[in-house]
Amino acid sequence: MQITVTINGKKYTEDVAPDLVLLDFLRAHGCYSVKRGCETSNCGLCTVHLNGKPVLSCSVLAVRADGKSVTTLEGLQKEAEEFGGFLADEGGEQCGFCSPGFIMNVLAMVRELENPSEQEIQEYLAGNLCRCTGYQSQLRAIQKYLAWKQEGTK
Amino acid sequence: MSYVNSRVRKKDAMSLVTGKPVYTGDLIPQNTLVVKLLRSPHANAFIEEINTAAALKVPGVAAIFTYQDVPTSRFTTAGQTYPEASPYDRLILDKHLRCAGDPVAIIAAETEAAALKAMNLIKVKYDVREPLLDFTKAKDNPILVHPEEDFKALCPVGADNRRNLCSTDVFEVGKVEEALSTCDVVLTRTYHTKANNQAMMETFRTYSYLDEYGRLSLVSSTQVPFHVRRILSNALEIPKSQIRVVKPRIGGGFGAKQSAVSEVYPAFVTLKTGRPAAIVYTREESMTNGSPRHEMQMTVRIGANKDGVIKAIDLYALSNAGAYGDHGPTTIGLVGHKSLSLYGGVEAARFACDVVYTNTMNGGAYRGYGATQGIYAVETAVNEMAAALHMDPCAIREKNMVLEGQVMRTYYNETCNSCTLDKCMAKAKEMMNWQEKFPAKVLENGHIRSVGVAMAMQGSGISGVDIASVEIRLNDDGFYTLLVGCTDMGTGCDTILAQMAADCLDCDIDRIAVRGVDTDQSPYDTGSYASSTTYVTGMAVVKTCEKLREKILEAGAKLLDIPVEDTEFDGKRVFCPGKDKEVSLSQIGYASFEGHNRCISASESHSSPVSPPPFMVGMVEIDLDPETGKVEIVDYAAAVDCGTVINRNLATVQTEGGIVQGIGMALFENIQYDKFGRMMNNSFLQYKIPTRLDAGKIRVEFESSYEPTGPFGAKSIGELVINTPAPAITNAIYNATGLYFRELPIRPEDIALGLLHKDEN
Ligand code: FES
Ligand code: FES
């Protein structure tokens, strides 16, 4: 099936197998930040933005992205560095394998929710598993990042 | 500037948070064969016939291998120092399938689709036998997991394949029976911990190729590159000199990758076909055929006097090795040594154990390595004793806990040179507001808020066994290269070792380039396990820096043409105090790369005769709904003595992460099999690890002792921190309900039913 997908601002028109999932399509196009952690849509490692909304790329067929635009962490390097700096300062990227998917969802949350409460943050990100950190450092990083952003917009 | 004891960012942090391709799966070259394993649907079966003819016709299939094609030397996949305590009990592929998922055939194809198609076309006729699934019935059971003649144990661990024994052991200090007979109260309790999967986010994976010298090269997500080299040599029957193992960034290990789970398959394919080959385990494979925590049943007999003095502890542990003995004989040792030693003053203690084979997935190393199970049992027994004596569980510990200066008779007679367990207890009580909250209070909505406590210890490396070496080179312009053989798996050891080196060499941490691990280039290190890296490898760094400083002084003195005794080195220059003579490190570096001078490098190795334990106290506050039995973690206070903290951030996050894994063990995680021995909960859909909504709030404080044998006074932290949640939560549930649950995980239905029966009685 022929599809046209924009990945991080660049347009690709290609023939793909109908059962190809977006995750594999993206990795085949050099988006190695997109990781697979499960086969059951439970880990959140594969989170990317499809037309600006976070999706699990393991559970979206590549053909469903036809005519749409996909953003991965490769396309958000500035934001990744900004928030990533806060995460790094908390030691919240331990093995880092969950970090890209997690950061993609954090960036989506920041766009979607204004001034999220702690509970809202935890609920929004509940689908992003991390086996290393126990989540506390990630929360600290998010709260500091949000405060920093608030400062900036004042 | 001092880097030790500060919050340094990890050296690789920014590449990880920006999603750079630094993991094994990101590095697999184009045109690499995809390797898949056909796995046994039966827990105990023999292959009668296997036919690959149709499968080999699938376009894109490069090769299929069966048990007829592989070498016949038995080996272990446990990554341990040679001679390994784990028996040599497996083949790459075997005619006898000993657990569900045991590999039946290796398929190599150009694409995953071709490999999977071929897999479906392999015809196998199995002679299916009754599986041995109940580990409490395994010893001397007529069903033998390892009936083979060539079963081999390298070490005298008491292995006997004719009895399904992987190992057996007993030790006693003092006279336990005598001491118990004089106690006012003796309790006998049996506890059951389950197999848990490490569930690191990056599953097992490896790729291999023949390099330009024709040698077998592997890139693998492993904690033990040097051990993998030996394991492959054993398995493939090729010389170690023909093998190279490289470790890139790793997506978590927690001990799982202390076994060579995935390495042999692509390596064998590459050897046979000459082609690059890669295997990436699915989550399901990682769940069904990984290297999980050993399931154990432990019976504790504990005796105390009315005043709360514990006089004797007798502990028996039965461990389920599963189908293969990886880490079986060693894991069990920690069950005794690292639990009983929390109570230094007991008159007598005994530990006895059996490790048995069954037709379930083999166990392996999981953070805590047996200490977790042993501490859960002993700490819960102590809590039960406190209840029996109507004592506060903190008070009974304050009376009996190990103290600095004590000789730990159940811990290889080592003297406890650094220990602030008493201060940890005081700190945790203060953090939790224990006096106020113990034992429980009922909220307006009917929920019960209660608290629980446990202590824990671990080791720092394996005494007299682990070896670490590092090399530091001075380069032109005066920067250093630090070569390490220990494996950073997210733990940050590359960074903390650089922190130590920077302090020893008085330089900026950015002037130290760290490189690990490539078995062709890195200095030898047993690997990152047994909480060894900070303590053992760290000491190798300290020693190497001392040596290097001497060499720098010599080189500087030579350039200045003055006696070396008159010189000093301040990290930037070698100079003669009081005189106007100096040469910069940069100049020394350049000079060392030129003509008549010598390159300046130093390499030292370290091994410790002792394994000083880090200690901690964990306290939990839970919210328990008596209607549904649901337990929520409200607050977790951890007071930790890991000696000097090298990196506050990383030590804090280690603690938080370990505690949440421990919460998973206590409340959710349990590998379950159906009656055929197939794992039922083989995905994250069914095998639930804690999400951020389950973790509660965790607070960590350090009560640092100073360990005289450690680098900068440091001990370990990585494993210790998983040990308190199970006993502390069990204790809190008791304080809420008056019921002791002696089997993990403690599920809501257990609690709700328990309360129901309690009311009925
Ligand atoms: S890979 Fe696990 S949710 Fe997509
Ligand atoms: S940092 Fe390792 S899984 Fe999150």
Q: What's the pLDDT tens digit per position in B164-173?
A: 999 999 999 9
Distance from CA of B682 to the nearest CA of A (A): 10
**Integer Rg of chain A from CA:** 16
- Give the containing element (helix H, strand E) for A11: strand A10-15
Strands A69-71 and A53-56: unpaired
A131 Cβ below 6 A of ligand 2: yes
| Ligand 2 midpoint to CA B201 (Å) | 7
High-pLDDT (> 70) share of chain B, %: 100
Q: For B574-582, what is the mean pLDDT?
A: 93
* Enclosing H/E stretch for B758: helix B748-760
Check A84 against B697: CB less than 8 A apart.
no
3 state SS for B511-524: HEEEECCECCCCCC
List, in sequence order, every beta strand (DSSP E) within A31-130.
47-50, 53-56, 69-71
Task: Say whether pLDDT at A66 is over 90.
Answer: yes
Q: Residue B528: its pLDDT value, please?
A: 87
B689–A92 CB contact, under 8 Å: no
> Cα of A92 to ligand 2 centre, how many Å?
8
- pLDDT of B598 reads 83
Structural contact between residues B671 and B196, judged by C-beta atoms closer than 8 angstroms = yes
Pocket test for ligand 2, best of A97, A102, A136 (most atoms within 8 A of CB): A97
Work out the average pLDDT over B257-280.
98
In chain A, the residue whose alpha carbon lies closest to the alpha carbon of B650 is A91
The CATH code of domain B468-606 reads 3.30.365.10
Is there a contact between A45 and B201 if contact means CB atoms under 8 Å apart?
A: yes
Q: What's CA B402's distance to the chain center, in Å?
A: 24
Distance from the Cα of residue B312 to its chain's centroid: 29
What is the mean predicted confidence (pLDDT) over B64-78?
98
Q: B295-460+611-760 and B468-606 share one CATH topology?
A: yes
Region B3-16 average pLDDT: 95
For residue B1, pLDDT beyond 70: no
Closest alpha carbon within chain A to B198? A131
Give residue B420's pLDDT band: very low, low, confident or very high (50, 70, 90): very high
Question: Cα–Cα distance between B248 and B489 in angstroms, integer?
Answer: 9
Q: B492 alpha carbon to ligand 1 midpoint, in Å?
A: 26
On the CB side of B636, CA atoms within 13 Å amount to 33
3-state class percentages of chain A: helix first, strand second, coil last, to nearest 5? 45, 15, 40
> Considering chain B, what is the average pLDDT of its residues?
97
Partners of A89 on chain B (C-beta within 8 Å) are 7, 9, 649
Domain boundaries, chain B: 13-129+201-252+256-288, 295-460+611-760, 468-606
pLDDT of residue B761: 75
**Ligand 1 site, residue A21, Cβ cutoff 6 A:** no
Shortest alpha-carbon distance between residue A72 and chain B (Å)? 9
Asked whether residue B661 carries a pLDDT value surpassing 90, the answer given is yes
Tell me the C-alpha distance between A18 and A14, whole Å. Answer: 12
CA-only gyration radius of chain B, Å: 27
Please tell me if residue B485 touches chain A, with a CB cutoff of 8 Å.
no
Q: What is the mean pLDDT of residues B206-235?
A: 98
Contacts of A128 in chain B (CB under 8 A): 692
Q: In this predicted model, what pLDDT tens digit does every residue of B328-385 receive, in sequence order?
A: 999 999 999 999 999 988 999 999 999 999 999 999 999 999 999 999 999 999 999 9
CA of A152 to the centre of ligand 2 (A): 29
Amino acid at B563: P
User: Which ranges of B246-370 would DSSP assign to H, the alpha helix?
Assistant: 264-273, 283-288, 328-340
Q: Which CATH architecture has domain B295-460+611-760?
A: 2-Layer Sandwich (3.30)
Distance in Å, CA B490 to ligand 2 centroid: 8
What's residue A154's pLDDT? 62
Instruction: Label residue B251 by pLDDT band (50, 70, 90).
Output: very high
Q: Please answer whether residues A125 and A77 qualify as being in contact, where contact means their C-beta atoms are separated by less than 8 angstroms.
A: no
Q: What is the pLDDT of residue B326?
A: 98
Task: Identify the pLDDT of residue B596.
Answer: 72
E-strand ranges in B594-675 read: 601-606, 615-624, 631-641
Do B665 and B724 touch, CB atoms closer than 8 A? no
What H or E segment, with its residue span, contains residue B452? Answer: strand B448-457
Quick one: which of B318, B330, B320 has its CA closest to B259?
A: B330
Each residue of B443-465: pLDDT tens digit?
Answer: 999 999 999 999 999 999 999 89
Helix boundaries (H) for B389-420 = 393-400
The CATH class for the domain spanning B13-129+201-252+256-288 reads: alpha beta
Q: Does any CB of chain B come closer than 8 Å to the CB of residue A111?
A: no
Task: Name all domains of chain A by residue range, CATH numbers in brackets.
Answer: 2-74 (3.10.20.30), 76-153 (1.10.150.120)
User: How far from the centroid of its chain's Cα atoms is residue B126's Cα?
Assistant: 36
Burial label for A20, CB within 10 Å (0-12, 13-18, 19+), is middle
Give pTM, 2 decimals: 0.97
The whole-angstrom separation of Cα B192 and Cα B135 is 12
Q: Given CB atoms, is A123 within the 8 Å cutoff of chain B? A: yes
Q: How far is A154 from chain B (nearest CA, A)?
A: 27
Q: What is the pLDDT of residues B674-726, one digit of tens each?
A: 999 999 999 999 999 999 999 999 999 999 999 999 999 999 999 999 999 99
Asked if B476 and B634 count as a contact pair (C-beta separation under 8 A), the reply is no
Helical H runs in B313-453? 328-340, 371-388, 393-400, 421-432, 434-437
